[in-house]
Amino acid sequence: MKAVYYEQFKQRPELRQLPDPTPSKHGVVIEVKATGLCRSDWHGWCGHDADITLPHVPGHELAGVVKAVGSDVQRWRGGERVTLPFVGGCGHCPECDTGNHQVCRHQFQPGFTHWGSFAEYVAIDYADTNLVALPEHIDFATAASLGCRFATAFRAVANQGRVSAGQWVVVHGCGGVGLSALMIATALGAQCIAVDVSAAQLQRAKALGAVHCINARDTNVVEAIRELTQGGAHVSIDALGSAVTCFNSIACLGIQGRHVQVGLLAGTDFQPALPMELVIAKELHIVGSHGLQAHAYAPMLQMITHGKLHPQQLIGRHIALADSIDALIQMDSQEQHGMTIIDRF
């Protein structure tokens, strides 16, 4: 198979001809029809992820067709169109037994814990637990765009945030996850406020349904939100992950509001100072959100099917596998305008 391959971190990857994978007894091999290029792939290539063992093939947001099936797989057959979450569950630990595969204690991630989808084929373990049937009318590029960003945002908004019609929802950070969250919350009938430091990203947020946009460079974010919502938001989502956005997300909530932490905090922001006096006085709820289980995809796919969600609007460009090498290594030096999908192999 053709695959993007590197033997050292920060070394330019190569397009190599590698052996086709074979399925484990509980797994399948998927012929990749589309895969997303995510900033997490860039972090992996830089050596920021301890799960990666060299040499490596990146890629974790994918959709395709089942090519080969392991001997113990019950639910899947060759030729079926599928996608999957970026976090896979083992199917037999206590968390998986309760349906919480997104926090499986033995979780795996293609493109990190094993070779990924920047290739013609990828092997996926525990297929009965982790594969999602792809409706015929949803194309492979759209399915790949759900990847980690859109599916993660869906769980954050619909499940962890429990957003409902008429609520005030604030999204801090209008990158891929933030814009996805805004689109989903708007589709659920919420009134959304977008917060960012980029005028261009706020313009995109407005086009996707934000009723108010706040530029954090020149505005007191918390005061502005309290004024717009007449007391504070019902739900606030930190889609960026910084000490400032985490603090503001909690501080802008109204009584018994809900803060959802989606963005990963790193470096000096790893343990941020929080307004715990507000958490106590207002009985605020603080929850994390990590991925979306395969069995929980149905409501999201149904909203796409019925035309209530349009994740393909977040796709910026389509490229070939050979072009993904430059796209990967340049992610930190070039401004990104929407998601990049690899769909020519």
In a domain, 195, yes or no: yes
Predicted TM-score (pTM) of this structure: 0.94
Question: What element of type H or E holds 265?
Answer: none
Split into its structural domains, the chain has a count of 2
Q: What percent of the chain has pLDDT over 90?
A: 94
Range of 272's domain?
162-288
pLDDT in tens, 68-88: 999 999 999 999 999 999 999
Segment 251-255 shows an average pLDDT of: 98
CATH of residue 257's domain is 3.40.50.720
Are 88 and 137 members of one domain? yes
Contact between 132 and 83 (Cβ < 8 Å): yes
Which tokens sit at 158? Answer: 């619909």
Backbone angles phi, psi at 159, to 5 degrees: -95, -55
pLDDT in tens, 322-338: 999 999 999 887 666 78
In a domain, 157, yes or no: no
- At 312 the three-state DSSP class reads helix
The CA–CA distances, whole Å, from 206 to 170, 179, 184, 200, 202 equal 13, 10, 14, 10, 6
Structural domain ending residue among the three candidates 288, 318, 335: 288
Residue 62: closest CA among 127, 110, 3, 6: 110
Are 198 and 143 members of one domain? no
In a domain, 328, yes or no: yes
Are 259 and 139 members of one domain? no
pLDDT in tens, 24-37: 999 999 999 999 99
Are 135 and 194 members of one domain? no
In a domain, 92, yes or no: yes
In a domain, 155, yes or no: no
Backbone angles phi, psi at 226, to 5 degrees: -60, -35
Structural domain ending residue among the three candidates 288, 305, 331: 288
pLDDT in tens, 119-171: 999 999 999 999 999 999 999 999 999 988 999 999 999 999 999 999 999 99
Are 190 and 226 members of one domain? yes
**Dist CA 174 CA 197 (whole Å):** 9
**Dist CA 37 CA 17 (whole Å):** 20
In a domain, 18, yes or no: yes
Are 282 and 301 members of one domain? no
In a domain, 323, yes or no: yes
In a domain, 268, yes or no: yes
CATH of residue 302's domain is 3.90.180.10
